[in-house]
């Protein structure tokens, strides 16, 4: 594999392959395990993720990249093989979540700012030596219109931090995934999501330019333009596709090689149908693919339920979702 940032970024989004977001923090994976009645220990988290990474057929055909959490990138499989080596042996690029989470923004109730810049240069050097070739930083932007959330300050602070993170990544030879997630929690309508997402993306690219980040060596991980989960009106895939692409044409430079969506609480099939609708109205200046956590892992988690005899069924469930999302990334998925 070539080590130029633009080559790594292009490889991450090539051929309708997408990313497996397996970088749940210890707290988040515990919530997922609680839902299937599995205790969350270093070993159970390892067993579960090893099962996904060893799904050789799915990994080779549909997954270009795997986003890891700090614990996982250091873990070894039950037979002693480093998990990162299993990922690489299956042809995927390993990457690492480096932010330290969204924290309440002082003075702005309801807003958060993502922390983790202190010491990041040193951490990136270590992760590069361990084999990571990309990183992820997630900013979280909540919507609560009645409370003036998000503020311009949270959008600006998060964009600034994302750009500082991205510049440090590129200095270290690591492709930054920049993720300004506008949450789909709440009752806001799809046009409010569009307006807030536009403010966030516009500010983000201004900051990336200001900090001399080379866009060719970055990936954007955004939300789709979609109504809040508690909105009365459900958005159709066609409306989501039209408004999401309008947003990107207005605010994401064509120099960005790829856009890999988060699933954000959409159901497994919605996440596939919406990605497919987005690609079906192409061609677009960027590759548009998936970087799903929940929408790739929900089905295998249910099938697995912590039992080793369920591993083949869980791997089959993972392979199925990965295959469907691969088809959607090519605009070839059929309901």
Enumerate binding residues for ligand 13P (CB under 6 A).
Answer: 21, 23, 138, 179, 262-264, 292-295
Sign (positive/negative) of CA torsion 278, 182, 115, 72? negative
Q: Identify which of residues 150 and 264 has a Cβ nearer to ligand 13P in the complex.
A: 264
Q: Which of 221, 229, 243, 246 is catalytic?
A: 221
Q: Identify which of residues 49 and 294 has a Cβ nearer to ligand 13P in the complex.
A: 294
CB of 308 to ligand 13P, least distance (A): 25
Q: Identify which of residues 101 and 306 has a Cβ nearer to ligand 13P in the complex.
A: 101
Concerning whether 61 is annotated as a catalytic residue, the answer is no
Closest residue to ligand 13P in the complex (CB): 293
CB of 188 to ligand 13P, least distance (A): 18
CB of 97 to ligand 13P, least distance (A): 8
CB of 101 to ligand 13P, least distance (A): 11
CB of 185 to ligand 13P, least distance (A): 12
Taking each helix axis from N to C end, the angle separating 152-171 and 120-130, rounded to the nearest 10 degrees, works out to 50
Exposed (0-12), middle (13-18) or buried (19+): which is 86, by Cβ within 10 Å? buried
Which residues, in sequence order, are bridge partners of residue 177?
A: 136, 219
CA distance 22 to 247: 27
CB of 177 to ligand 13P, least distance (A): 9
Q: Identify which of residues 50 and 179 has a Cβ nearer to ligand 13P in the complex.
A: 179
What angle (nearest 5°) sits at the alpha carbon of residue 286, between those of residues 131 and 174?
A: 20
Q: Identify which of residues 67 and 327 has a Cβ nearer to ligand 13P in the complex.
A: 67
Q: Identify which of residues 69 and 205 has a Cβ nearer to ligand 13P in the complex.
A: 69
- Active-site positions read 221
């Amino acid at each position: 594999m070539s080590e130029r940032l633009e080559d790594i970024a292009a490889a991450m989004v090539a051929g309708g392959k997408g990313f497996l977001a397996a970088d749940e923090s210890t707290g988040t994976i515990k919530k997922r395990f609680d839902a299937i009645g599995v205790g969350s220990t270093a070993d159970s988290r390892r067993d579960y993720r090893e099962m996904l990474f060893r799904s050789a057929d799915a990994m080779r055909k549909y997954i270009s990249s795997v986003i890891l959490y700090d614990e996982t990138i250091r873990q070894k499989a039950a037979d002693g093989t480093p998990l990162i080596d299993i990922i690489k042996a299956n042809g995927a690029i390993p990457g690492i979540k480096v932010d330290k989470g969204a924290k309440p923004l002082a003075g702005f109730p309801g807003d958060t700012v993502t922390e983790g810049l202190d010491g990041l240069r040193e951490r990136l050097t270590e992760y590069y030596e361990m084999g990571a070739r990309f990183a992820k930083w997630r900013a979280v932007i909540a919507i609560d219109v009645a409370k003036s959330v998000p503020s311009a300050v949270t959008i600006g602070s998060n964009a600034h931090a994302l750009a500082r993170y991205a510049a440090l990544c590129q200095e270290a030879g690591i492709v930054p995934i920049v993720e300004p997630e506008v949450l789909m929690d709440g009752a806001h309508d799809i046009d409010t999501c569009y307006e807030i997402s536009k403010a966030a993306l516009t500010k983000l690219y201004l900051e990336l330019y200001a900090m001399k980040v080379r866009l060719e060596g970055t990936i954007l991980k955004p939300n789709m333009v979609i109504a809040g989960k508690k909105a009365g009106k459900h958005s159709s895939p066609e409306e989501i596709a039209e408004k999401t692409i309008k947003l990107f044409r207005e605010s994401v430079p064509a120099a960005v090689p790829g856009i890999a969506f988060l699933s954000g609480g959409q159901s497994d099939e919605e996440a596939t149908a919406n990605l497919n609708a987005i690609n079906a109205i192409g061609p677009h200046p960027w590759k548009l693919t998936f970087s799903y956590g929940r929408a790739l892992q929900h089905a295998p988690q249910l099938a697995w339920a912590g039992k080793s005899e369920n591993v083949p069924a869980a791997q089959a469930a993972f392979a199925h979702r990965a295959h469907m999302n691969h088809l959607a990334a090519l605009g070839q998925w059929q309901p």
